Amino acid sequence: MSKTTAAKTKASPAVDNAVAPSAAAADTDFMNGYVYILRCGDDSYYVGSTRDIEHRMDQHLAGKGASYTSRRMPVELVFSKECESVSEAWAIERRLHGWSRAKKEALIAGRFDLLPELSRRRGRRGRA
């Protein structure tokens, strides 16, 4: 599946630190995992993790993935990162869920330099 391969992003050290798993996510499994972001038909983002990115994308594209994405077709893979384990992928997914749209878009665009600033700005709307 060429779309899957094309959307893989080489992470910089800044991204690895920004999306590093918490200490609570001990690597108890030794299978590789993936964390990924889809852009949905309504221009929203879906963040997920999986052991098999090709199979999971086939599910999403067939409308048989998550109920969220099946109601927002079509979907497009815009970011994926291979992880050393499923636990690591899941921990990164949990962290990305808390990110703002702007921060997710910077990650997708490969603008790793913007991630620290976008972290600091969160929640400061409307202040002088």
Q: What is the pLDDT along the chain (128 residues), one digit of tens a residue?
A: 434 444 544 454 445 555 544 444 444 445 799 999 999 999 999 999 999 999 999 999 999 989 999 999 999 999 999 999 999 999 999 999 999 999 999 999 999 999 999 987 555 555 54
In terms of DSSP bridges, do strands 76-83 and 45-50 run parallel, antiparallel, or are they unpaired? Answer: unpaired
- The pLDDT value given to residue 28: 45
Burial class (CB in 10 A: 0-12, 13-18, 19+), 37: buried
HSE on the CB side for 93, CA within 13 Å? Answer: 21
CA distances from 16 to 12, 47, 73, 76, 107 (A): 6, 17, 30, 23, 11
Q: Are 73 and 63 in contact (CB under 8 A)?
A: yes
**Pairwise CA distance, residues 25 & 39, whole Å:** 27
Size (the chain), residues: 128
Q: Are 46 and 97 in contact (CB under 8 A)?
A: no
Q: What is the pTM of this model?
A: 0.74
Task: Report helix, strand or coil for 38.
Answer: strand
